[in-house]
Each structure stands twice: as C-alpha cells, then as structure tokens.
Amino acid sequence: MKQSDMKRKSENIKIALVNPRIEMYSSTLPPLGLLYIAAVLEKSGHKVRIFDIYPYDDRDITSLINYNPDIVGLTALTDYWSRAQHIARAIREKISDCTFIAGGVHITVKPEDSLKGLDADIGVIGEGEYTMLELCDRLANGSDWRGTNGIIYRDQKGKFIRTEPRMLIEDLNELPFPARHLLNFEDYLVPPGIIRGHWSEHSTTLMTSRGCPYKCIWCGSQSTFGRKVRRRSVENVIDELKQIIRDHGVDTVWFVDDTFTLNKRWVLEFSEQLLANKIKLSWGCQAHVNTADEEMFQAMKKAGLIQLDFGVESGSDKVLKALKKRSSRDAAKRAFKIVRKVGLRAMATFMFGSPTETEDDVEATMSLAREIRPSFASSFFITPYPGTELMQMAEDNNWISSDDKIGAGLKKRPMLKIHFSEKELYKIRTRFQSMFIYRNFFSLLFNPRYVVKAFSLFAGYPIGIILGLRKFLKTFVVDDFFFEFLIYYVRERSKRKKAAIAHSVELK
C-alpha cells in the first residue's frame, strides 16, 4: 500500500471504483451502489473515477491501470466472482502499490475467503458509503485506518482482524444522489428498456428505500441492508427524478427497492407528488402479494405506473412455508385479481427446485400460474447464494450438485439436487415457459410501435438472432432466445459505439 506518499490533500489522491461485469442483459443497469459511494467521496473533495468493466473489453482494465490510482475500491457480487478475481489479478500485477479495498455483498457474507481470493488489503462489510469515505480520508491524511468501523483486514502475521460493525445509515436523505455524471450514462439508456413489454429509449433505475422485513431463505439482501426498512422522503426522491429527467432525458424508471409497496401512506404521497410536479414518467416496481391494495394501485397507475412485479415463487402453500415467503396461494390470487381490476400489467416470477417441492407442488404452481393470468411470467431455478439460509441448508444436506455452477448468473442452471434431477428441472421449466409463450411474446404483436422497433433492432444484429436460436434449440425456452439476443446486442452495441468514438478521434 502507498503508505509513504499518501499524506496529501484529498483532491490529489486518485480513487478508482471498479465494477466487474459478466454478460447478462442486466449489464445495461448502472452500478447504483458504486455511484452512491462515488457521490459521497466527491462531496468530501476526493477525486474519483468509475470503471465499469465488461468481460468482452479488457481495454477498460488497461484504462484503469493507466489511471494509476492510489486507492482502488472493487465491488463484487457472487455472480461476478470469477470476473472480479481476473480484474483483481491485473490490479495486483500492474498497480501493486495501490491500496486495494474490496466491498459488496459477496465480501460482506464471505469476508475472509474474499480477502484471500482477491488479495485485497481491506474488506468493507455492509453498506459501503461512509466506511469507504472514512478509509479514504484516513489514507489521504496518512492516519491509521485500522480503527475504521465496518472493515476486515489481515495483520502482519496474516491474522484476520474485524473491526466493530458500522451502523446502518438511518437517514438516507443525507446521501447525495448517485454520481451518474461519472459514467457515460447514455450507454445505460438502452432500448428496449428495463420493463418487460414496454419500449423505452431512456430507462434507468432508482432506489427509494433499503432493507426488507421478509425472511425469504434464498435472498441475501438483508446481509447488506438489514431487516429494518429505511425510506427516503418523497421530496428527496422527486428531486432525483427531476434531475435524471433533466440531465439524461429519462422516460422510464424501474425502482429497485426489494418491496416498493410496503408503506401505503408513502406510496400514496409519492404518487400524488408525481402528479403535482407534472412528472410524466412510466415506471415499474416490485410488490409483495400481501401488500396488494386497490386504492394504492389506482393511485400508482394514475401517476404513471405501468407494471408491478410479484415474486409468486410457488403455487404450493407447503413450499411457500418452507421458503419463508410469508405469502400464500390465496394471497397471490387476491393480488392478481386486484391488478386486473385496476387495469395494470403484472409480471409474475416462479422458482423450481425448492426444498420440499414434489411433483404435486409443481402441478399446484402450474395451476396457480394459469389461474392468476399474469401479463408476463418467468421462472428460475432456486439458487443458494452465500450468506443465505438456503445455502446453509444446502451445505448441511449436501444438496449442491456442482460447486462450479455457483455464480453462473440469472438462475438459469439448476444448482440444487433435492427432489428433482437436473434433467427433470430443465423439463419442468421448459414446460412452464411454454405455457406463457403467447402472453410473454405474441401478445406484443398487438402493439404496432413495439413490433416496428423490435424488428428494426433484430435487423441490425443478425448474428444475435443466430446465437439466440442456438440457445433456444438447447432449452426450447423462448425467453432464452431473447435473453441471448439481448446479451449479444448490448455487447455489440457497446463495441460499435466505442469504435465510432475512436474513429471520430482519429479524424480530428
């Protein structure tokens, strides 16, 4: 670590925040966590750059190395772990004297293994904004950073030392808005957009709250954000919406809160203020079936809501109880009845391969999915992420079928062998998705604007069509065709844009 020459003013210390990527359609989503950290650091006078490093372009790693930062902060999700290790090796080889700090949910739940796996100097555990700020302040001033709360490091003997936990941020309003200006943000405003079935030229994400009171056994959200829900004020969120519309021409927003609809009074006030401020925006969010409320949904629709996403997960009350979902088959039916009455679209997601799930439970799920008639439906294989109750159960019962599959992303591969074999789970998912081919895809043919734009998109990326068809012929799931095409499209679009910029520079 650069201990000797760190005693400089904060503005002279170069900080690089690094986000590893793997190829997923969600790669168009900006790294909100790093953008918040960058905003806090900038507000305190630090010089920050963000490197959002995609797997198909290691030139971004070269740019990071050429920047030669004093401090590197790398975030890591479990899905991105292999890519994070690749970037970490490059950092150590080329800028070995920087202070290397690792954070993110994977580091939070597996701090010792992560520190060793990345060869990092310091690990940040939990919410990273103020921990990273204190570390950077102390490093810049040459003071002892080892007293910083919320970190893990190794002493000179190699022993792991964990400091006192850092308290969660109680007042989210005190955080500055994410530093979107540090990215070429146009690269993230990629059509067709984030909300399924809705064509958007400029869609992005925004978070209004942190924390989730539910205890679903597969979810790791509480590891970083805790059980207590902390919510920004309506005014604060409205101000951020005004900013991203003004600065980036955003027309659609997906709220990434674990459950947006937990506080009816807040949602009603937010919907009212969207209208009062004449904010014309299409938006979507996640809801729990237990929170379904006609008055709230009506107000949300009037304020621009076009789609709600519900994690239904199963049609079996027995399986839902095993998942600790705190929902029921009847609650799902009630929620979707309200959605149809209000006239909103709804996305329903389901999981297969869960603990206690049998053939009868699968049939109950198929039956419920047909009965609730979601606008769109998608299914995944339940996945054991580190730090979750499901992972502990999987390890205790020897359910994990293959360690090297953990981190595959998108929950598209069966990773647990409980009641069903991998082959059986693939067949179940294929059968489920086949039930919704019309709703998921052909219903869009009645939207002429969407059809014209979609065909134009396909025409510009014929190789993506071939790759999508190749994937479809392996799984016979139409969703997989579109996801494979969109992954190629995002990658190729980025390459073409960078090539155009390079050509423009050469001409000058």
Same domain, 449 and 470: no
Average pLDDT of 88-108?
Answer: 94
Same domain, 148 and 229: no
Residue 170: inside a domain = no
Residue 412: inside a domain = yes
Nearest to 101 by CA among 144, 147, 70: 70
Residue 181: inside a domain = no
pLDDT of residue 55: 78
Same domain, 489 and 358: no
pLDDT of residue 198: 87
Q: What is the pLDDT of residues 394-415, one digit of tens each?
A: 999 999 886 555 544 445 688 8
Residue 175: inside a domain = no
d(CA 196, CA 441): 10
Average pLDDT of 136-155?
Answer: 95
pTM: 0.90
pLDDT of residue 497: 75
Q: Which domain holds residue 200?
A: 189-458
CATH assignment of the domain containing 148: 3.40.50.280
Of the three residues 442, 458, 474, the one that is the final residue of a domain is 458
Residue 334: inside a domain = yes
Nearest to 429 by CA among 371, 362, 486: 362
Residue 413's region, left for phi above 0, alpha for psi from -120 to 50, else beta, is: beta
- What tokens appear for 441 in the block? 């895809």
CB atoms under 10 Å from CB of 245, counted, come to: 16
Same domain, 137 and 101: yes
CB atoms under 10 Å from CB of 156, counted, come to: 5
Nearest to 187 by CA among 256, 251, 248: 248
pLDDT of residue 454: 86
For 34-159, strand residue ranges (E) read 47-53, 71-75, 99-103, 122-124, 151-154
Total number of domains constituting the chain = 3
Residue 298: inside a domain = yes
CATH assignment of the domain containing 430: 3.80.30.20
Opening angle at CA 31, ends 503 and 89, nearest 5: 75
pLDDT of residue 10: 55
Of the three residues 122, 145, 162, the one that is the final residue of a domain is 162
Q: What is the pLDDT of residues 421-450, one digit of tens each?
A: 999 999 999 999 989 887 777 677 677 888
- pLDDT above 90: residue 236: yes
Same domain, 505 and 442: no
Average pLDDT of 193-213?
Answer: 92
- pLDDT above 60: residue 66: yes
pLDDT greater at residue 188 or residue 150: 150
pLDDT of residue 402: 63
| Confidence band for 502, pLDDT divided at 50, 70 and 90 | low
pLDDT of residue 5: 45
Same domain, 448 and 478: no
Same domain, 149 and 241: no
- What tokens appear for 19 in the block? 């986000």
Residue 296: inside a domain = yes
Weakest-pLDDT range from 231-240, 264-273, 397-406, 452-461: 397-406
Decide if 32 contacts 175 (C-beta within 8 A).
Answer: no
Average pLDDT of 281-291?
Answer: 97
pLDDT of residue 495: 78
pLDDT of residue 410: 43
Same domain, 478 and 445: no
Same domain, 132 and 94: yes
pLDDT of residue 3: 45
- pLDDT above 70: residue 501: no
- pLDDT above 50: residue 117: yes
pLDDT of residue 11: 58
Average pLDDT of 458-463?
Answer: 92
pLDDT of residue 369: 97
Beta bridge partners of 102: 74, 123
Q: What is the pLDDT of residues 16-62, one digit of tens each?
A: 999 998 766 666 789 999 999 999 999 999 999 999 998 766 778 99
Q: Name the residue with tokens 């052909």.
A: 442
Same domain, 328 and 194: yes
Specify burial of residue 226 (Cβ count, 10 A radius: 0-12, 13-18, 19+).
middle
- Average pLDDT value for the chain: 90
- pLDDT above 70: residue 14: yes
Q: How far is CA 487 from CA 38, 303, 464, in A?
A: 27, 32, 8
- What tokens appear for 198 in the block? 């809705």
Of the three residues 127, 162, 197, the one that is the final residue of a domain is 162
Residue 382: inside a domain = yes
pLDDT of residue 191: 86
Same domain, 399 and 445: yes
pLDDT of residue 90: 93
Q: What is the pLDDT of residues 297-353, one digit of tens each?
A: 999 999 999 999 999 999 999 999 999 999 999 999 999 999 999 999 999 999 999
Same domain, 252 and 144: no
Q: What is the pLDDT of residues 167-182, one digit of tens each?
A: 999 999 999 999 999 9
CA dihedral 448→451→456→459, nearest 10 degrees, is -140
Q: Please say whether the dihedral angle defined by the alpha carbons of residues 207, 413, 78 and 384, taken in this order, is positive or negative.
A: positive
- pLDDT above 60: residue 2: no
- pLDDT above 80: residue 506: no
Residue 231's region, left for phi above 0, alpha for psi from -120 to 50, else beta, is: beta
pLDDT of residue 490: 79
